[in-house]
Amino acid sequence: MATSMSQIGPGKTPPRLISDLLNYVPRLVEDGYNLLADPAQQFQNKPLKRRGPNDCRHNLMRKDSQTQAPISDDISWNSSSQYSVSAICSSCRHHFKISVSVSSGEHNDFCNMSQPEYPLHHLILTDSFRMRDYVALAPASKYHGFYETFEYSCSRIKCPIVVNIRITPPRLEKSLLQLIEDAPTLEERGIKEIRKDPSRFSGQQPVDPFTALKHLASYLSDALHAQGEPRKIAARNKKFRLSFSDDCNDIFNYLDFFFFKEQVEGDDLNFFWRLPLITDQNRDFLEDALQELTFRASEVQSQTDNTPIFTLAAPAMKQIKIILGFASFPEKTKNFDANTEEHPYYASLGAVEDFTDELLCWAYDRQCECDPKNKPYYFDCLEDLARGRKSYYLQTKFAVATSAGGYGNKAIEEAYSYFRLQSNTNESDELIMSLYKVRVESEPSQKNYARGCLEKIARHRNSPSLEALIKDKDMTLDEALEFLGVNIDTSPEFIEASAVALLIDGDKTKVALALKIIAKQKPGDMILQRAAALMAAEIGEACLSISDAYKMLQIPSREVSDEGVLNYFQSLSNVAAAGSKENFCEALRLIALDRSSTFLLAKLADPIAEVSACTAEPLGLYNIGNTCYLNSLLQYFYSVKPLREMVMNFDNYRMVINDENMRRKKVGGRQVEKTEIIKAQKFVEELQKLFIDLKTASSPSVRPTKELAALTIFSTQAAEEVARKNSVSNINQLQDNAQKLESLESAQLSSQSPLPNSIFEERVDVSDNSNEKTSERGDNESEITLVNSDICFQNASDENKNIEPVQMLDFESDSATVNVHTTQDSYKISPAPDRPPPVPPRNNFEVSTSKNNSDDYNSVNRLWDFGTQQDVTEVIGNVLFRLQCAITATDYEFPSGEQVDVIRDTFFGANTVYTQKAQILQKKVEAWSYLLVFPAKSLQRSIYEALDISFDEQMVEIDGQNVPQFTSISKLPRIMQFHIQRTAFDQTNLRSWKNRTPVTIPETLYLDRYIDDSENPNSTVMNRRRQTWTWKKELTALEARYEVLTQVQENLNVPDALIATRDWINEIREFPIDGISINPDLSYLLDNRITEVTLELNEISGKIEALKQKLQNQFFDMCELGYTLHAVFIHQGEAGGGHYWVYIYDSNKDIWRKYNDENVSEVKNRDYIFKHESVGRGTPYYVVYVQSSLLKEMVDPVFRDVHQTKMKESSNISDVPTVSENLTENGLEGLNATRHIENIETKDHYTHSMSFVPEDR
């Protein structure tokens, strides 16, 4: 009797299915069309039948007793999983049950939001049944009703999910409810009963519909919660007589009440109704009836002054979304009218209007794959929605589909019309082929257009003969260029992209042929050679997967550099047999293609070839030890055009050092010393060298100098701090040595030796063994990378208050001088004796002169360690400070006298802090180069919510009084930098910890809401900001109250505790306990309180959601001051150490790249940058935005002008140790020139290059 359907055909995503369910009218099937069973009606620019004005838009309320669903969306699916949500519509009182189960079989790969390829289920109807259609054959019982069922399966083969929807009409028909909800009927009944026995009903009045409904609902509630035998109701009970009398016997019989008579001792014969006896057969039926009575009573409640006594059900949508897997799917920002019907094209794609562009494209792809015969119609849907939503993403998707040969129904009509045929023609393929040949011969200039029309017809008819006619020809260079939509001068990257786009749905053989012909014309272009080879492999015999390629070459990690990969290849291929060598070459070729490595491709063709870096790509930076964060900063600064131009043309900006300039030189709120300016200009000179290398080097990576690293990391304060630490260490060492010398009576020293005046000069080494050498610190030490570490150097005075520094190490000067100062409380070194002491015994203590500068070397190491413990923002601040110190001012701020220059104009903004004191609004302006962003402790927070913490009004204590204070942005920089404050201090465990809570980072940030407009107290911005402050206070109070009501103590919250108390009281009343009297109104009072608490919770939840929605939409239309995301710094590790890399956006190509030391790669999937969870097990630490209107003017990450010179020795392949050396000396870590803490178990799963070789699954 069921209607079975194949799993091939159009489907629906869960949001679409539920949207259709809410609009479904169970009693009607318009013109044979069923909204849940049939595909969406195709829109042909004619109005479609929509919901009627009186049709119910279902409001589903959960039936808890019939629901088995998790409360969170963290579901662990397995073969035995089965969840269901039962609900009732509060308006039409239809009953719905949505069940999700797992079909039997070997597949267990469930669709979910963590899978970009299958974020949602794609459900196709497999079975449907309407009991109403078969009522003549099998009349429905009252316990089941005229139900309907619909079964859906996920179209993905590996996903075993099955969804079942069951719909049942109301249990209580209108004819039955009319007896107790019609006010005139009830009034007539009451008057009749009162007239029968006026004395008995003295003071009584006829009941209203609410009271009658309430009484019947209370009977059913008592029956469903009864323990033991159900109680009975006397038919002569006054409330019963006034509410029901004998007129409602049909209702009681229908609801399984039992009517009987009973002789009561000393009384006349009485009649009773026994409450229904609950069984498995009628439980759901009676629970449904109780729900219907409850919602009907709530509808008529407004007509009375009574307080409802029943707990209303909670909304069911949350649990429905959870079991169907779309509780947390990303939604498009709603800027459409909620009262406007959505376009029918959304339903055709199985989607809903609030899908993001990415999800909509995914839905389009699924429909095309599952329902290929309607693909042209879906193509029209995509085109129209892309235009209507004004979406660049959808328009790009449409353009790619078009270039891949996609077409719509209109194009099909035009193709047939070109040959003067109708699209529904029955003419043979032979006739169409003849028409094609005639048109080509008669109009040669229309050959390409005719071929395109024939290709569309061939696909529409699925005709092999027509397709063979299209392919049966040779391709010239001009035809290849035209087929790919390019010309001979088109960039190789765009040619490759065009071929890839056509490859998705086009003729793979034809695409590969066209690319091969173009590549032959450009033999020196490695990009085209790589693309042609890769595409040839795609259409040829099976190839290795990337994973197998790495395994074949025995490469332990994909993080190994290109040079390391080549070493592995050469060590294996040089001793391999001929057949095996070919396999090794194939593996290396696949790895090169996967990495987009022109270096490996060139070395594969010619092992002695010198490889130049691609001029269209930026270079990497070698890690010189503890500098992964430094490399990220340098790459970022190189992408900033004003800074880069200033550095590259430093002579035009250099400040002339003279008295006048020095007098006015004020940076960072203080006068700058001459020595600082000299160091700053030295820093810019070093930075200029690096920038020149990044522009002109032919090698794929360049190496920053140690001098640049030192000048970047170490501020003057850092050097002084380390020098103070060294001074304490040196004093203690000298004191210890002096004591040893005094204790040796036979010790002999020739004379007093002055301290060396440079840490790099020879020095006296006092050691227990003159032959023992102090081990030097190497690059293989684990690094402590920049994080906001709370570890800091204590002042020397904290440990030895009486010790004054004796050595000042000026690391950034040409030489380091040592000055010794002593005070009265200083440790003193005993002077040398007047006469030489005897020669000391051998092997006890020996004084020797050595060139080992280990002590001084350790001094430098302490400085490096201090640099690695600085906050990353301190290093950025240090760089900006040095840049400002090095250059001349363009102006001076008044009245502060602060220098104005290109750096300040680019990076610095200002806040105005407003404090209300008495009747005066005081303000203070504060300049900044970055803003702090505070993540929440547990819940995800948007960057706007995080910024609100700094800019919203708050109470501060000033002079013992709490006064309001808020902040506004009074000056916007061209480049806006944000530091996400992720490090905090655990006061309990006394250690630093890293806050990994996500902060959502949008691609475009609008700062209109924070702009200073306080001079106009009634401005739009300030009025809206004040309104949000009021809403947030209300929200805080509501959330606090909600937490009190829902806080769980002893496994119970407040509503559950009240319900448990009521049930316990009712149990005591039914089975009395001697000596305990129960107030007869207590149960009623508890029911009232339960209802009040439930209503309060529902009210609070509604208000909270409403306030959150208001806050979200408050500044929606303020989008004039837009900033585009440019860079995201990622930190991987803990508070004390880890690894940095940076993502930088290239607006010219609309791509993101990952800069990870010497490796620079394109990010293919942007979700790994913008999705809310952490990025590759790292977290965003520093983000940079650029004024959208100045994007092209301010940033450009690719600035290359390669000079064809010999590759630098630092990047030459000969410098890379062989595999055997690495494995023997350093293990696997030796493959990298610098060892990092972060190199342990790090894998890059998201910045892979495009590959046509599928991974093993």
What is the reported pLDDT for 540? 61
Q: Is the pTM of this model over 0.75?
A: no
Q: Is the pLDDT assigned to residue 813 strictly greater than 60?
A: no
Per-position DSSP letters for 1230-1247, written without gaps between them? GGSSS--GGGTT---SS-
Task: Answer yes or no: are the C-beta atoms of 192 and 177 closer than 8 Å.
Answer: no
What is the reported pLDDT for 812? 36
Query: Percentage of the chain with pLDDT > 90?
Result: 29
Work out the average pLDDT over 962-986: 90
Q: Which residues contact 692 (CB under 8 A, 6 or more apart)?
A: 648
E strand spans, 208-338? 232-234, 258-263, 269-274
CB burial of residue 485 (10 Å; 0-12, 13-18, 19+): middle
Confidence of residue 1163 (pLDDT cuts 50, 70, 90): confident
What is the reported pLDDT for 1224? 32
Q: Is the pLDDT assigned to residue 1136 strictly greater than 70?
A: no
- The distance from CA 839 to its chain's CA centroid, rounded to whole angstroms, is 75
Q: Mean of the per-residue pLDDT values for the chain?
A: 77
Angle (CA) 370-512-463 rounded to 5° is 45
What is the reported pLDDT for 1072? 67
Work out the average pLDDT over 174-191: 91
Work out the average pLDDT over 243-249: 92
Q: Which residues contact 563 (CB under 8 A, 6 or more apart)?
A: 1213, 1216
CA atoms of 1000 and 207, how far apart (whole Å):
58
Confidence of residue 220 (pLDDT cuts 50, 70, 90): very high
CA atoms of 96 and 296, how far apart (whole Å):
17
Q: Are strands 941-942 and 983-986 parallel, antiparallel or unpaired?
A: unpaired
Angle (CA) 145-146-148 rounded to 5° is 120
Token pair of 958, please?
């000033």
At 274-286, the pLDDT tens digits run: 999 999 899 999 9
CA atoms of 715 and 719, how far apart (whole Å):
7
Per-position DSSP letters for 444-499, written without gaps between them? GGGHHHHHHHHHHHHHHHT-HHHHHHHHSS---HHHHHHHHT--TTS-HHHHHHHH
Angle (CA) 821-827-828 rounded to 5° is 80
CA atoms of 723 and 736, how far apart (whole Å):
20
Q: Is the pLDDT assigned to residue 889 strictly greater than 90?
A: yes
- Pick the range with the lowest mean pLDDT from 326-340, 945-959, 1210-1224: 1210-1224
Task: Answer yes or no: are the C-beta atoms of 868 and 784 closer than 8 Å.
Answer: yes
Work out the average pLDDT over 51-73: 85
* 552 CB-side CA count, 13 A: 23
Work out the average pLDDT over 943-960: 90
CA atoms of 1101 and 1047, how far apart (whole Å):
15
Work out the average pLDDT over 725-736: 51
Confidence of residue 498 (pLDDT cuts 50, 70, 90): confident
